[in-house]
């Protein structure tokens, strides 16, 4: 597929679909590194479906809407930078999609285009599938970072994991203010606490669940260093919990994951969130229950791909493992 850029909109040639019974897309840009096509094709193949999940490296909403109106389209995944831009074009939204204000999945119901946010499910299941419930039950949550990923994390911690208090740590106070305002407006932000200094972090109860939504970059500015110091303060508290590291590209073992691991925390890789949000997408598209989906086969395939990539790029600096990768 060749790509073209016109007046800031990235578009691409329409994928070939005539040989398929059904099809869907991954709509976003850039998306070449995504594991989602491998993930969903593994499901379709295991179910014996002549379906495909096609890359659509585009920001052209008009092109996308035209393509998914094809009667053979089961739906699509929507990723950055289109998660918010797609909202005005939906006929309906699931509760979590509306509350978070971002859509990563569309599907058809009764001829209506419905938007969902399965990122919230991916975050929830990452914890429940990889850490004992008592590690985070009835304890504060913590979200490091901002933007749509942070809102999804807050929603999962508050609505699914019942964290009455959620700490927010971010280098940009205005992003925290925007997150708090959005969550409060949607009815799940009353327990949010902006942690803006090391001294404040030292005075607070240890969280049981942390969701890290920041790139794998070493701190440079003073505000970035303060975020790192606050995170390390929480890691060093006597009671340990579980941290979900949402960043898994280009490496699956990040600097922040290493710090948490060394401090005694359960570290859950971002591939877990990708896998469980993907199974939720597959449920919408295929109508199958989790029990009918090839869960272990998909996990094995993703693990094989991660190992292949790791062999090409080299092992992480720290080879100790007290966490789950994708099993």
Give the residue numbers marked as catalytic: 83
Asked whether the CA dihedral 132, 202, 186, 76 is positive or negative, the reply is: negative
What the block records as the tokens of 58 is: 């585009």
Dihedral, CA atoms, 120, 126, 127, 132, nearest 10 degrees?
Answer: 150
Chain centre to alpha carbon of residue 122: 6
Chain centre to alpha carbon of residue 158: 16
Question: Position of tokens 């966490």?
Answer: 323
Bridge partners (DSSP) listed for residue 192: 166
Neighbouring CB atoms inside 10 A of 327's CB total: 12
Question: Position of tokens 């609505």?
Answer: 159
Measured between alpha carbons, how far apart are the two ends of the chain, in Å?
34
What the block records as the tokens of 123 is: 């975050």
Q: Cα–Cα distances in Å, from 5 out to 13, 25, 28, 32, 58?
A: 12, 20, 14, 17, 9
Question: Position of tokens 């890290």?
Answer: 212
Do strands 192-194 and 209-212 pair parallel, antiparallel, or not at all (unpaired)?
Answer: unpaired
Q: Are 36 and 277 in contact (CB under 8 A)?
A: no
Rounded Cα distance, 24 and 33, in Å:
18
């Amino acid at each position: 597929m060749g790509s073209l850029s016109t007046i800031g909109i990235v578009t691409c040639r329409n994928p070939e679909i005539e040989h398929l019974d059904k099809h869907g897309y991954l709509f976003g840009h850039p998306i070449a590194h995504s594991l989602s096509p491998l993930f969903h094709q593994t499901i379709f193949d295991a179910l014996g479906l002549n379906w495909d999940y096609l890359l659509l490296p585009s920001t052209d909403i008009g092109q996308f809407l035209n393509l998914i109106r094809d009667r053979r389209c089961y739906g699509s995944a929507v990723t950055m930078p289109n998660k918010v831009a797609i909202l005005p074009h939906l006929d309906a939204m699931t509760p979590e999609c509306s509350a978070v204000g971002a859509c990563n999945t569309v599907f058809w119901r009764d001829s209506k285009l419905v938007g969902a946010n399965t990122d919230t499910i991916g975050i929830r299941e990452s914890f429940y599938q990889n850490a004992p419930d008592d590690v985070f039950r009835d304890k504060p949550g913590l979200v490091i970072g901002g933007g749509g990923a942070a809102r999804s994390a807050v929603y999962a911690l508050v609505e699914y994991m019942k964290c009455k208090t959620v700490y927010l740590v971010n280098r940009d106070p205005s992003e925290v203010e925007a997150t708090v305002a959005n969550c409060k407006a949607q009815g799940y932000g009353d327990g949010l606490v902006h942690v803006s200094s090391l001294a404040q972090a030292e005075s607070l109860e240890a969280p049981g669940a942390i969701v890290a939504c920041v790139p794998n970059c070493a701190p440079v500015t003073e505000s970035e260093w303060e975020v790192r110091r606050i995170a390390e303060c929480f890691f060093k508290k006597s009671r340990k919990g579980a941290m979900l590291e949402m960043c898994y590209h280009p490496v699956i073992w990040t600097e922040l994951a290493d710090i948490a691991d060394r401090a005694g925390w359960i570290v859950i890789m971002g591939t877990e969130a990708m896998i469980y949000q993907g199974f939720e997408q597959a449920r919408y598209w295929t109508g199958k229950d989790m029990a009918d989906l090839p869960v272990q086969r998909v996990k094995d395939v993703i693990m094989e791909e991660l190992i292949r990539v790791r062999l090409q790029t080299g092992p992480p600096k720290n080879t100790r493992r007290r966490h789950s990768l994708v099993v």
